[in-house]
Amino acid sequence: MVLSVITVKLLVSVSCKMDALQELKDMRSKARESFPYFIKHIFPLSFKKTRFVRASHTWEWAKRIQNNKNTATLSARKHLKSTTIHAFVMWKIFKMEENSNERWLYMSYNQPMSVYHTQDIKNYIQANPHFAGIKDLSPGGSTIHYTWNNNDSFRCTPSSILRFNRGWHGKGVICDDILADPTNELNFTIIDKITRVFNEQVMSLPEEGGEVHLVGTAQHQMDLFFKLKDNPHWNWAEYKAILNEKNKEILWPELFSYERLCQIRTNEIGEKAFNKEYMCVPIWSEEAYFQRTEIMNIVKEFKTVKRPASEWKERMSVVAGLDIGKKAHPSHLVVFQLKNGFYTQIFEMFMERWDYSKQVDYINDLVKFYQIDELRYDDTRSEMEGFRERGLLGPEWIPIVFGAKNKFDMASNFSRLVNQNKITLLNKQRQIDSILSVNNELQAPETSIGHGDAFWSVGLALYKEQNTAGYLAI
């Protein structure tokens, strides 16, 4: 039987439509199973009337949120923290199943802020073609309440961290900028109150097996984000706008160029505000000991030296510095080659949550590998005394007890070498940020990157007690 041309065209058309329907069905099935897939392929359709910029870092956030009951995401301003959470609520609604009546709270610092977020979510749902046929059970209101079948529903109620129904229980709680007051910088009293309310009440709101997801920008070194960092029950992550200053690597290159971020920092909001809002570093009111440009001028694109000193150590010394951390912050080790009065960094490491035995064993191996001549370490609290008594510290280990005078000497000698261009540092962003966190009072906030540890490990490595003359950089 010979088919007519028209018949063939009709069959092809039907086949194409069936393929398209199957492709749509497969896509929707994948989106229900995977939040990262949803945020890549479904969520962008809510922005058909506005520009939507690809943001691959949100895919990582989506994976963390889907796979963990408790997440804390600390990131830069205007980098889609809230938008990712909006997409998460939409995903929950999109994959709603029968016999499912989930209840959530959307919490912000105050009620108007949380209402702003829930209304945004409702607008995204209304604009997205994949939500055609869904029914809004609270049209015109700020509460999110949707159903696909007039029986099962998803409800998300806006609320304030300082005023909410203590008797509420449901599937989960979203905490979106619960530390942010748009009109005032929060003081210690409010920060402590929010932390206490969160720990004592908010964490008890979800039913057994429920979820809590926290997103926001750091306000202070003692705020909730940093207190959750080492909690094993939380998936905690930090995302700065600038990932590596020297290499000009940034978190969201599709929208913010490195030059644009520098413009924001220099011309629009200033260094201090930029550190807090874009670099996740709560800052002190005092000026920093080093300016960023000073440190970046001595950062070089060298790699950590991985060859034993026997292959290269000739007519030079090798010195090291160790700032020993307490439980709240890490130890930091640096190693420098010293030749003709010039210090070249060849190694650095943050030892996060290492016990002292592990640190001593590891550093002793490095002493042999790099043939370290002098390793000055912070002996203020005598943590290494027991190891010295057992003969585990060789003559290279030189204890330094911190005091007001020698701390000033260390800092001023560091400053002298920087200003005379007699030192280079490895391009390690955490080390750079740690050095820049120390202020003119030689103090630093305790944050996710530590407590100014790199400033003091470098200072110890460069320190020579016989040099008593101070140096003041102006």
pLDDT tens for 136-165 read 999 888 999 999 998 899 999 999 998 888
> How many other CB atoms are there within 10 angstroms of residue 309's CB atom?
19
Number of domains observed in the structure of the chain: 2
pLDDT tens for 352-364 read 889 999 999 999 9
> How many other CB atoms are there within 10 angstroms of residue 228's CB atom?
20
What pLDDT is stored for residue 89 in this prediction?
A: 97
Asked if residue 4 has pLDDT above 70, the reply is no
Give a yes or no: residue 474 inside a domain: no
What pLDDT is stored for residue 474 in this prediction?
A: 31
pLDDT tens for 280-306 read 876 544 467 888 788 989 998 878 899
Give the helix ranges, DSSP H, for 348-437.
Answer: 356-370, 385-389, 404-419, 429-436
Same domain, 232 and 333: no
Same domain, 160 and 42: yes
- Where does residue 44 fall: left (phi above 0), alpha (psi -120 to 50 degrees), or beta otherwise? alpha
Side chain identity at 227, as an amino acid letter?
K
Strands in 240-394 per DSSP E? 242-244, 249-250, 299-300, 317-323, 331-339, 342-351, 374-378
Same domain, 325 and 429: yes
Q: Which residues contact 186 (CB under 8 A, 6 or more apart)?
A: 179, 194, 219, 220, 223
What pLDDT is stored for residue 39 in this prediction?
A: 95
What pLDDT is stored for residue 356 in this prediction?
A: 92
Which of 428, 457, 459, 452 has its CA nearest to residue 221?
452
pLDDT tens for 312-330 read 988 899 999 999 986 667 8
Asked if residue 471 has pLDDT above 70, the reply is no
Give yes or no for a contact between 249 and 257, defined as CB atoms under 8 angstroms apart.
Answer: no
Residues 447 and 292: their CA atoms lie apart, in Å, by 18
3-state SS track over 260-280 = HHHHHHHHHHHHHHHHHHHCC
Query: Which is it for strands 397-400 and 299-300: parallel, antiparallel or unpaired?
Result: unpaired
What pLDDT is stored for residue 398 in this prediction?
A: 94
Task: Between 7 and 172, name the one with better pLDDT.
Answer: 172
Query: Which is it for strands 342-351 and 423-426: parallel, antiparallel or unpaired?
Result: parallel
pTM for this predicted structure: 0.66
E strand or H helix that includes residue 209? strand 206-216
Which of 213-227, 335-349, 390-404 is least confident? 213-227
Asked if residue 265 has pLDDT above 50, the reply is yes
Give a yes or no: residue 416 inside a domain: yes
Asked if residue 469 has pLDDT above 50, the reply is no
Give a yes or no: residue 334 inside a domain: yes
Same domain, 453 and 352: yes
DSSP 125-169: HHH-GGGTT-EESSTTSSSEEEESSSSSEEEEEEEESSS--TT--
Give a yes or no: residue 271 inside a domain: no
Give yes or no for a contact between 205 and 169, defined as CB atoms under 8 angstroms apart.
Answer: yes
Task: Between 420 and 361, name the one with better pLDDT.
Answer: 361
pLDDT tens for 168-206 read 889 999 999 888 754 455 565 677 788 889 999 999 999
| Residue 162's CATH number | 3.40.50.300
User: Where does the pLDDT of residue 449 fall: very low under 50, low under 70, confident under 90, or very high at 90 and above?
Assistant: low
Same domain, 424 and 351: yes
Give a yes or no: residue 18 inside a domain: no
Give a yes or no: residue 276 inside a domain: no
Which of 243, 255, 287, 232 has its CA nearest to residue 441?
287
Which of 337, 262, 260 has its CA nearest to residue 305?
337
Give a yes or no: residue 184 inside a domain: yes
Q: Which domain holds residue 117?
A: 25-239
| Residue 324's CATH number | 3.30.420.240
Q: Which residues contact 262 (CB under 8 A, 6 or more apart)?
A: none
What pLDDT is stored for residue 16 in this prediction?
A: 60
> How many other CB atoms are there within 10 angstroms of residue 17's CB atom?
10
What pLDDT is stored for residue 55 in this prediction?
A: 92
| Structure tokens that stand for 288 in this block | 């920093």
Mean pLDDT, residues 57-79: 95
Mean of per-residue pLDDT scores for the chain = 86
What pLDDT is stored for residue 183 in this prediction?
A: 46
Mean pLDDT, residues 217-233: 79
Give a yes or no: residue 347 inside a domain: yes
Same domain, 44 and 184: yes
Same domain, 327 and 229: no
